[in-house]
Copies of this chain bind each other. A is one copy, B any other.
Amino acid sequence: MIMIKNTLFLQALKGESVSRPPVWMMRQAGRYLPEFIALRDKYDFFTRCQTPELASEITVQPIRRYGMDAAILFCDILVIPQAMNVEVQMKPDFGPYLPCPIRDQKSADAMIVPDIDETLGYVMEAIKLTKEKLGDEVPLIGFAGSPWTILCYLVQGQGSKTFDLAKKLCFTEPEIAHQILQKVTDTTIAYLKAKVDAGVDAVQIFDSWGGMLSPTDYTEFSWHYINQIIEALKDHAPVIVFGKGCWFALDTMANSGAAALGVDWTCSPKTARALTGGKITLQGNFDPSRLLSPPSEIKKMVHEMINEFGKDRYIVNLGHGILPYINVDNAKAFIDAVKEYEG
């Protein structure tokens, strides 16, 4: 077993006291770095995901440039529907597009719970290559979308302000919706376990669209399935759950087997600590648009944020993915502010 040198991130996940909080940024890999853009212009989206040499290279780029305390594997949440026999395209300037969305019993039945090695073996190869490239410097995070968030794309067929077609299926044909959600959950559990076996040190579940649901509907259509994943994974690796807009569920999440909870920027550090009873590691919550502020202001705000969350049981991060056009100096100011922090 390799001992990782930079233990800040794993210590924070265990709730241990640290000299300063660890820092990484959601979407740190594969979005805004000039060295990534050079690759993006040569290879299309799923080629980058499915080619271990490219995915691992993109994963380590931000670590080389900024020295974050954790790497996150470059990949996409929609590799799961692809593996389940659903076509997913990534259209430039449009986003994900599923030409045959799942909206009835027949198409739900056609979704398979796949063999992970056969369908997603390239992810495991990318993990092994990335671990080699990272050496024993920093831990590696693997991720998956929440079943509800995957269902949003499966049913809507593309991004949406309301995901009303996804909700319509849940509200008018709940049996079909639950069948889809369970298939996605079973696939995701096998996928994340395989990732841990391949070498990731922690996993994060992204519930990007959980905040579109009422608390009651969230419990039924999102949390029920996220919790299955937590329970299945927690003895294999620490599980971080990030639900954008899911402030209303933070108390429920805090009483689960999750090791840490992501928080977005609409929930103040003080409120997030209160809602979670001060007992679980929190991760977040800098407004990604605040990286547009001047670097000196970014540093000041990061220090205030750390003081408000407290340096322990805390992982510095953005409150959502980094914007695609953030200046490298501004991203650097965010990371440096944490490294310069003296509590």
Taking Cβ atoms with an 8 Å cutoff, the residues of A that contact B are 161-162, 164, 167-168, 171-172, 211, 213-217, 245, 247-248, 265-268, 271, 287-290, 292-294, 297, 319, 323
Contact = CB atoms under 8 A, between A and B. Distances in A.
B292 A266 contact: no
A161 to B, nearest CB: 8
A304 B22 CA distance: 45
Contacts of A248: 247, 266-268, 271
| Majority secondary structure of chain A interface residues (helix, strand, loop or mixed) | helix
A245 B164 CA distance: 18
A247 B214 CA distance: 13
Nearest to A245: B266
Contacts of A164: 288-289, 292, 323
A265 B211 CA distance: 10
A215 B247 CA distance: 13
A146 to B, nearest CB: 16
A150 to B, nearest CB: 18
A162 B297 CA distance: 21
A217 B287 contact: yes
A18 to B, nearest CB: 25
Contacts of A247: 247-248, 266
A266 B264 CA distance: 15
Quickly give the copy total for this chain: 2
29 contacts: A162-B288, A164-B288, A164-B289, A164-B292, A167-B287, A167-B289, A168-B289, A168-B292, A171-B289, A171-B290, A171-B292, A172-B293, A172-B294, A211-B266, A214-B266, A214-B268, A214-B287, A214-B290, A214-B319, A215-B266, A215-B268, A215-B271, A216-B268, A245-B245, A247-B248, A247-B266, A248-B267, A248-B268, A248-B271
Contacts of A268: 214-216, 248
A175 to B, nearest CB: 14
A293 B171 contact: yes
A265 B172 contact: no
Contacts of A288: 162, 164
Nearest to A167: B289
Contacts of A216: 268
